[in-house]
Amino acid sequence: MTTTAPRNGATDPVTVEVVRNTLAAIADEMALDLQQGSYNMMIYEVRDFCCALIDKRGRLLAQNVGGVSHFVADLGVVITDALERFGEDGFRPGDGYLMNHQRVAGQHLNNMVTYTPVIIDGELFGFAMTRAHWSDVGGMSTGFGARGAGVDAWLEGLQIDQLKLIDEGVYDEKALKIIADNIRFPDAALGDMRAQFAACRAAEQRLTELVRRYGVPEVQAAIEEVFDSTEARCRTVVAAMADGEYHAHSVMDHDFADLDVPVDIDVTVTVSGSDMTIDLTRCSEQRKGSINARTLAGAYVAYKALTTPMEPVNEGSFRALNVEINEGNFMMAKFPAPMASWSVALPTVVDTVITALADAQPELIPAAHFGTLGGSFAFFGQDPASGPFVAQGIEGGGWGGRPGEDGASASVSVCQGDVRNSPVEALELRFPVRVEKRALREDSGGAGKHRGGLGQLTEIRNLVEGSWRLSMAGRHICPPWGLWGGDTALPGGHALQRPGGDFEPVNGRVNAPADSVARIFTGGGGGWGSPLERPVSQVADDVRRGYVSAQTATDVYGVVLDESGAPDEAASARRRDELAAVSSSAVSSASASSAGAAAAASPAGASSAGASSAGAEGAGR
Amino acid sequence: MAIAISTDIGGTFTDLVAYDLDTGEIHQAKDYTDPADLSSGIGRCIDKSGLPLGEAPEFTHGSTVAINTAIERTGARTALLVTRGMRDVYEIGRSNRPEAYNLLFRKPVPLVSRELIFEVDERLSARGEVVRPLDEQSVRDAVAAAVNAGATAIAVGTLHSYANPAHEERIGDIVKEVAPQLFLTLSHRILREYREYERISTAAMNSYIGPRVSGYLDELQNVLKTRSFEGRTLIMQSNGGVMIPDIAREEPVMMMESGPVGGVVAAGSLAAEYGIAHAVAFDMGGTTAKAALLRDGAPDIAQGYYVGGFASGIPVRVPVVDVVEVGAGGGSIAHLDVAGALRIGPQSAGGRPGPVCYGWGGTKPTVTDANAVLGRLNPAHFLGGEMGLDVDAAEAAFDAEVGTSLGLSAEHAALAVINIAVNMMGLAVRSVSVERGVDPRDCALIAFGGAGPLHACAVAREVKIPRVIIPMLPGHFSALGMLLADIRHELVRTIYATADGVDADMLTAVAREMSDEVRGMLTTELIEERDQAVELFCDLRYRGQEFTLRTPCTADELRSTDDLEKVRKRFDDLHEIRFGHSSPASTVEIVNLRVVGIGRRERIRPKIGAQSGEVEVTTRRVVSGVGSHASGKDWNIYQREQLPVGYRVTGPAVIEEYASTLVIDEGDVAVIGPDGAIDITIDITGGFDKTGGKA
């Protein structure tokens, strides 16, 4: 007999692996159920939702893969709050809770949380939870929620604070009626809610099966090992980075209320051994406008991308990370601060954290991406033919050039994962609109050895009168920055053309007569490395394919093309020498400030260059 | 001598299976696949088999040529014509990044480069009304530019062509007139369904692979012709049916995923014969394990998939047998991750260097090596003795790569690997059963593929499936399935109306038009009317939802909105089963009408080889159990070809045959059925150990 017993004191490796795989599979199954059973495109098409299993201490056991990444590991606080209020004994099998209150949840009110307790043989084990974007929660706007000056939590919509909607399997009909009477599309929202609770119920069953089979202590021990091993994987990555303090800074144009006061995003990342601290305390304080939130997502998404991007998320994913953030920071705002635009700054926050570490992880970090939540649009009103409607969509932007290759064009932000755009044909089948153009924006990507991806330009004609909600947290002051000598990209925005008029910039909700055309344009990604190092043939290909204009090829890349579009090698070499002479005198001071500061200098350096292009941006050509 | 022949081209080998329609006898042949000359392997197999091809009425063929062309990017230089303003819809795609945290994520790389995408002046509304008439000159200019740029294939995908194909058809006429040499695809011909990106992507794929697939089919017919074949050639499709080469030439995209489908079809035929309402087809090979649900023998059909994987793959929206895959195959590598946890895959040792025990240079322990270490595989009799297994090398690999760090012996490490693999495969089986509203306790698992029978009993127990069936020839099941597949065509048409407000006359007219079209295709394929069947489905959803459920209906039920009520009720029931909730008071929308045309083929009934009646039982030490309970015991070993009908084998035991090995756990009982299949009752009631094996 050559067999020996497994090492003592450790959980059976098979049980650990089974628990790891099964918990993740349950969360994914919830997501599939919710997505396919849902009633609004923000869930089924945009995938603006998450599903998770939480233990009875509020720790994340598993979260679905895909969906919106800025929901990462953010459901635990809801449970911690519920446990404080109701106690561990406060839950019965069959109960179901609804929650969107910003006091704890800290997001826009459209993001409705449902959860049900998982009680096994009379003992609370944990919770099955979903968070999903309802198309309406009342308030002064619909689709993506209220935005702009003078908005508070009550104008934003219906607030639901840890409401037990289902009592041991029985819905509270009065509460349901109040909800239904105070939102614009009750059929859709309550349909979504049913799908959310159905996903929770399915997960309860699956989790119970798992725990019954292996036993509570065994599963709990396995969960601890899953957390430990996840943490260890993250630590391995951080330990390979050079110890030190890394810094980067960027700004959003405004908070939607004080339009001339930028929102500061100032990040210091400290690496010490396998520990990482992300310090956000020097970011803007809580603001008058709706850009506020209570979220750690900016730090979490960045850390996840840096450490274990392809692994499922659990509590262990963030245990080796310390996030410093003060109460009253715009990302840790106090109720009743307006939060309708809670997530708009997050892609830029993530980019700023990542950029700070460009020196520590040069083989991974790309130049900045477009940094907003895409080109979002909503058109709503009354169709004389079919009644009230809200058409919505999110257009992607460009990603930064990266080590080894160009950035991707027309992709969602780092916070949006599996979010998809709305098909032209789906929009036109359902809503009184006609999409006239959906195109890549020439020259919108930052020039570089590895070019930034292109933003998009979409034009939609409304066939009936209605309201457009066209709002974007601007990145004109600090457009998407380049890295290692790459150029900044063009930022995005919105414009509207009323019948007979020209396109005029808009930011917010506007009424539009029939036959107006909304233009949604998104930013590109920054360039990586000097454009003068981009192979001439690649620049010629870019021009032939219409990604880069011939003008930019000559002015920025130093590539001269003949009439057939073929590069003139000799003329290009001369042109590149000229451009190199000009830029070496201009940037000598910047490059002198040590390699370590180069990355951190990029966003700040970009801000001055960006300001001049902001004015020219106008209606987005 | 009437013989039906099928050939299946795989990456390494080309398989031939032939069935004698008179005697029921089965013939097999195998030869290597030459990637540069795919059809040559077929010729060699035919010659090797010595079968008189001239007398065969039918030759069925499955090939990877379509999928390989797409994955290797060796297709035609393809141009694309789209509606003005929509040039970039194909490159933009859906803009999603399924690998949300991956900073280096790559989005799908289009098959058509931007300089080959041209806009034409035309526009339809969602109802199919002409908003802007087609400017034919803009089409002529675009086609000329495409030809100038060297295109040899072209796809046309204009907005709302699903609602009104007139513009696409006219564009097609102009292409045929101006540049008849181009391989042409009109998007509505392949897929008459809304969502422009997916439709254009599917059309572009069809054109991209078209010229190469056509050339291949020519070669194939040449190979057959030079061997005097005069019968009917049939090509395997992704949807589980077959089609004639003339249709395959026009719609090559329909044959892309034919590889894993043959076995599922064969399993379906077996389930139907046994009267099993719900069965899971379970196929385990070298790199993955696959599971598919069979309802009354019919596989679930998905309406599309991604070529090259979901995250960065290219969407192809055509019906495909819905197969769920997990990366746990015989070649999947067991390893410790950076945190010291034991993981399996996704890396695979593949065909080369393969598992350590094959002795072809592999050094990383695999699932197959685990089976060898535990004594589950016969080291002296692998592939009928054609190949020996180096068990010592496999043990050493487990020690070096896994066991020592975990403080486990090689055997315990191997056992842990098997148990984790069984759990992973169980999750795949669950996802096609439990997650689709099917109770596994009412299911049977039909297992095949080289490694399927090795793990089938444990996987069944893991998911609580009480019955496992191992068919005859589990290692050649895919080629066998091709002989069993019916001719099958699916058409779709977007309707978009509410169930209570739809124009029923229009619906009936469209259903009739589609039925006539599909019957026309079957008639072209020489299917007699009595062998033709047409099935109708409505894709339904509650108003506001996006996902639809494919709901069966009859032509009579489309006659009036009152009749449609029955279909709607069926939909409520399906929704309840699938999602656990339904909404009978809500408005229901009809989104698509689907018509499936089936041309039935003669059923074949393979004859069971004659048994000697003498059963020779040997023993071998096999390690089983879990953790400290694991131990080696002498198990009974049987040879399948010796076992007569009605013979009972009680687990633990191993039944060996050429190209496959069946492991029967303790408590499970196997009986040889009248058709030669092994029918196993799984003990799912007794105490489980932690992994699904018996302690």
Higher pLDDT, B69 or A450: A450
Whether residue B95 and residue A229 make contact (CB cut-off 8 A), yes or no, is: no
* Sign for the pseudo-dihedral over CA of A468, A473, A476, A477: positive
- Contact residues on chain A for B94, CB-CB shorter than 8 A: 420-421
For β-strands B631-639 and B618-624, DSSP reports them as antiparallel
- Contact residues on chain B for A352, CB-CB shorter than 8 A: none
Closest to B101 measured CA to CA, from A51, A50, A302: A302
Whether residue A36 and residue B105 make contact (CB cut-off 8 A), yes or no, is: no
pLDDT tier at B607 (50, 70, 90 boundaries)? low
Angstroms from A258 CA to nearest CA on chain B: 32
CA distance B156 to B150: 17
Which of B82, B103, B540 has the highest number of chain A CBs within 10 A, making it the mutation to test binding with A? Answer: B103
For β-strands A170-171 and A163-167, DSSP reports them as antiparallel
CA distance B253 to B493: 18
- Contact residues on chain B for A436, CB-CB shorter than 8 A: 85
**Whether pLDDT at A615 is above 60:** no
- Contact residues on chain A for B103, CB-CB shorter than 8 A: 305, 309, 354, 364-366, 402, 414
* Sign for the pseudo-dihedral over CA of B468, B474, B475, B477: negative
Whether residue A419 and residue B131 make contact (CB cut-off 8 A), yes or no, is: no
- Contact residues on chain B for A4, CB-CB shorter than 8 A: 407-409, 412
Closest to A208 measured CA to CA, from A346, A93, A308: A93
Closest to A470 measured CA to CA, from A420, A427, A531, A518: A518
What the block records as the tokens of B298 is: 């019919």
pLDDT, one tens digit per residue, over B63-102 is 888 988 998 899 999 999 999 999 999 999 999 999 999 9
Whether residue A12 and residue B627 make contact (CB cut-off 8 A), yes or no, is: yes
| Least confident range of B5-9, B123-127, B629-633, B652-656 | B629-633
- Contact residues on chain A for B115, CB-CB shorter than 8 A: 544-546
**Whether pLDDT at B439 is above 90:** no
Cβ contact A549:A539 at 8 Å: no
- Contact residues on chain B for A6, CB-CB shorter than 8 A: 406-408, 412, 627-628
Q: Which of A25, A36, A305 comes nearest B579 by C-beta?
A: A36
At residue A582, the pLDDT reads 85
pLDDT tier at B669 (50, 70, 90 boundaries)? very high
At residue A139, the pLDDT reads 86
- Contact residues on chain A for B420, CB-CB shorter than 8 A: 13-14, 17-18
pLDDT tier at A144 (50, 70, 90 boundaries)? low
At residue A303, the pLDDT reads 97
- What is this model's ipTM? 0.91
Number of Cβ atoms within 10 Å of the Cβ of B222: 12
pLDDT, one tens digit per residue, over B466-505 is 999 999 888 888 888 888 889 999 899 988 899 999 999 9
Q: Which of B160, B423, B542 comes nearest A191 by C-beta?
A: B542
Can you tell me which residue has the tokens 């099993």?
B276
Whether residue B427 and residue A21 make contact (CB cut-off 8 A), yes or no, is: yes
Q: Which of B113, B195, B580 comes nearest A423 by C-beta?
A: B195
Angstroms from A527 CA to nearest CA on chain B: 15
B591 by DSSP, 3-state: which? Answer: strand
Angstroms from B461 CA to nearest CA on chain A: 13
pLDDT, one tens digit per residue, over A389-428 is 889 899 999 999 999 999 999 999 999 988 899 999 999 9
Name every residue whose Cβ is closer than 8 Å to that of residue B447 and which is 6 or more positions away in sequence: B282, B283, B284, B453, B455, B456, B459, B468, B469, B470, B474
Say which DSSP state A88 is in: G
Rounded mean pLDDT, A344-358: 97
Whether residue B427 and residue A32 make contact (CB cut-off 8 A), yes or no, is: no
Higher pLDDT, B659 or B70: B70
- Contact residues on chain A for B90, CB-CB shorter than 8 A: none
- Contact residues on chain A for B91, CB-CB shorter than 8 A: 409-410, 440
For β-strands A375-383 and A387-395, DSSP reports them as antiparallel
**Whether pLDDT at A8 is above 80:** no
**Whether pLDDT at A559 is above 60:** yes
- Contact residues on chain B for A231, CB-CB shorter than 8 A: 339
Delineate the domains of chain B, giving CATH numbers in brackets. 3-70+221-249 (3.30.420.40), 73-213 (3.40.1360), 487-599 (3.30.1490), 618-681 (no CATH)
Which of B82, B84, B95 has the highest number of chain A CBs within 10 A, making it the mutation to test binding with A? Answer: B95
Torsion of Cα atoms, B562 then B566 then B567 then B570, to 10°: 150
Rounded mean pLDDT, B364-390: 88
What the block records as the tokens of B303 is: 């309406």
Whether residue B115 and residue A545 make contact (CB cut-off 8 A), yes or no, is: yes
Higher pLDDT, B358 or A79: A79
Angstroms from A238 CA to nearest CA on chain B: 13
Whether residue B92 and residue A409 make contact (CB cut-off 8 A), yes or no, is: yes
- Contact residues on chain A for B423, CB-CB shorter than 8 A: 14, 17-18, 21-22
| Least confident range of A364-368, A429-433, B542-546 | B542-546
Whether residue B427 and residue A236 make contact (CB cut-off 8 A), yes or no, is: no
**Whether pLDDT at A187 is above 70:** yes
pLDDT tier at B575 (50, 70, 90 boundaries)? confident
Whether residue B96 and residue A1 make contact (CB cut-off 8 A), yes or no, is: no
Residue type, B475: G
Whether residue B88 and residue A188 make contact (CB cut-off 8 A), yes or no, is: no
- Contact residues on chain A for B337, CB-CB shorter than 8 A: 229, 233
Whether residue A41 and residue B337 make contact (CB cut-off 8 A), yes or no, is: no
Cβ contact A52:A129 at 8 Å: yes
Whether residue B85 and residue A45 make contact (CB cut-off 8 A), yes or no, is: no
Which of B80, B84, B104 has the highest number of chain A CBs within 10 A, making it the mutation to test binding with A? Answer: B104
Rounded mean pLDDT, A212-235: 93
Whether residue A3 and residue B630 make contact (CB cut-off 8 A), yes or no, is: yes
Whether residue B579 and residue A365 make contact (CB cut-off 8 A), yes or no, is: no
Size of interface A-B (CB pairs under 8 A): 256
Name every residue whose Cβ is closer than 8 Å to that of residue A209 and which is 6 or more positions away in sequence: none
Cβ contact A62:A53 at 8 Å: yes
Percent of chain A residues topping a pLDDT of 70: 91
* Sign for the pseudo-dihedral over CA of A404, A409, A415, A421: negative
Whether residue B581 and residue A21 make contact (CB cut-off 8 A), yes or no, is: no
- Closest A-chain CA to B395: A2
Angstroms from A33 CA to nearest CA on chain B: 6
Which of A14, A216, A234 has the highest number of chain B CBs within 10 A, making it the mutation to test binding with B? Answer: A14
Whether residue A417 and residue B98 make contact (CB cut-off 8 A), yes or no, is: yes
| Least confident range of A523-527, B32-36, B407-411 | B32-36
Cβ contact A197:A30 at 8 Å: no
Whether residue A417 and residue B339 make contact (CB cut-off 8 A), yes or no, is: no
Say which DSSP state B401 is in: I
